[in-house]
């Protein structure tokens, strides 16, 4: 079985009727990239940048982040790398952020909400990203979006960052693909408006499931209710896919559901363009897609 899977390395991920799917890897640190490469990932569909924050005792500097992102891009040798901006909060806490204790952290101060509140902190990461983008094929993705205003504010901040880099004569990439995660029901429901403002969507099914079913993704007691195939979730994904395509944008799935082989056909029927899965699942998903 393993040998048969290994024979799929180097093969394109194409259905029997000729539709090519971009099959990427989710990574949580630089070490995972070698694993993604050895499993023949077409790119990195989700680079969880939080590890840089979780692994440090104080705010990582722009230079530290720049080196890390540059290394990731170079290791992927021109293949696309989608780096998600800081998704701290909820289940991922760091002491030096000095955050107030919250009753409901999953519904609280996290991810893009922190970035849009602490703009200097956000700008440090964006500067590092736009500088690193010179060294490969970078896309940037923003987590936990719920509104059009957030997207517009991100764009303003990005344009300030680019102007600042330009005036300081620091090399940076002017054109970087930028997308958002669809991981709240709100984002899926207004995906018609959001699709006009971004280059792509990537569905975070872990949080989308948590927020749609109102079930804490970490509460094992509720496992039997955590129905990943719930029609409500699939409807939200389909809605986002239709709205992305109606606006000429592409859509991927980077949550765990992306590697659920029982749903591969459903996702292809929806026209999903990219699946990003843990490196160990890539060849299994490729095999499934080639059968369809």
Q: Which residues are annotated as a binding site?
A: 48, 84, 183, 206-207, 217
Q: How far is the CB of 210 from ligand PEP (least distance, A)?
A: 8
Q: How far is the CB of 74 from Mg ion (least distance, A)?
A: 27
110 binds ligand PEP (CB under 6 A): no
206 binds ligand PEP (CB under 6 A): yes
Annotated binding site for Mg(2+): 183, 207
204 binds ligand PEP (CB under 6 A): yes
User: How distant, in Å, are the alpha carbons of 47, 51, 204, 281 from that of 276?
Assistant: 10, 18, 10, 9
150 binds ligand PEP (CB under 6 A): no
- Residues 236-275 touching ligand PEP, rule: CB under 6 A, are 254-255
Nearest-5° angle of CA 252, CA 268, CA 276? 30
Whether 98 is catalytic is no
**249 DSSP 8-state letter:** -
Annotated binding site for phosphoenolpyruvate: 48, 84, 206-207, 217
Residue 199: both structure tokens together: 């280059």
48 binds, among ligand PEP, Mg ion, none (CB under 5 to 8 A by kind): ligand PEP
How far is Cα 228 from Cα 213, in angstroms, rounded to an integer? Answer: 9
**Per CB under 6 A, which region of 73-81, 131-139, 184-192, 202-210 contacts ligand PEP?**
202-210
241-244: long-range contacts at Cβ-Cβ below 8 A with a sequence spacing of 24 or more?
241/270, 241/271, 241/272, 242/270, 243/191, 243/192, 243/194, 243/195, 244/191, 244/195, 244/200, 244/201
50 binds Mg ion (CB under 5 A): no
How far is Cα 237 from Cα 205, in angstroms, rounded to an integer? Answer: 9
**Per CB under 6 A, which region of 98-106, 199-207, 228-236, 266-274 contacts ligand PEP?**
199-207
List interacting residues with Mg ion (CB under 5 A).
Answer: 183, 204, 207
Question: Mind telling me the catalytic residues?
Answer: 254
């Amino acid at each position: 079985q393993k040998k048969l899977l290994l024979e799929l390395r180097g093969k394109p991920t194409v259905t029997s009727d000729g539709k090519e799917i971009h099959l990427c890897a989710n990574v949580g640190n630089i070490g995972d990239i070698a694993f993604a490469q050895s499993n023949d990932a077409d790119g990195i569909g989700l680079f969880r940048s939080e590890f840089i924050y979780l692994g440090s005792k104080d705010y990582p500097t722009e230079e530290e982040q720049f080196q890390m992102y540059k290394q990731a891009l170079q290791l992927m040798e021109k293949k696309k790398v989608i780096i998600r901006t800081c998704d701290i909060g909820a289940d991922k806490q760091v002491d030096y952020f000095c955050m107030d204790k919250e009753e409901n952290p999953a519904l609280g101060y996290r991810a893009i909400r922190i970035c849009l509140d602490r703009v200097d902190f956000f700008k440090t990461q964006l500067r590092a990203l736009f500088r690193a983008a010179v060294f490969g094929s970078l896309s940037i993705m923003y987590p936990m979006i719920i509104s059009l205003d957030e997207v517009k504010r991100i764009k303003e901040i990005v344009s300030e960052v680019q102007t600042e880099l330009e005036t300081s004569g620091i090399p940076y990439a002017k054109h970087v693909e930028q997308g958002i995660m669809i991981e709240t029901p709100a984002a899926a429901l207004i995906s018609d408006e959001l699709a006009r403002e971004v280059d792509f969507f990537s569905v975070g099914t872990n949080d989308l499931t948590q927020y749609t079913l109102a079930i804490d993704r970490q509460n094992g007691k509720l496992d039997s209710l955590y129905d990943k195939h719930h029609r409500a979730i699939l409807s939200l994904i389909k809605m986002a896919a239709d709205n992305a395509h109606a606006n000429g944008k592409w859509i991927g799935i980077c949550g765990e559901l992306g590697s659920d082989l029982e749903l591969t056909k459903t996702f292809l029927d929806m026209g999903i363009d990219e699946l990003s899965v843990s490196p160990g699942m890539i060849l299994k998903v490729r095999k499934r897609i080639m059968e369809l």
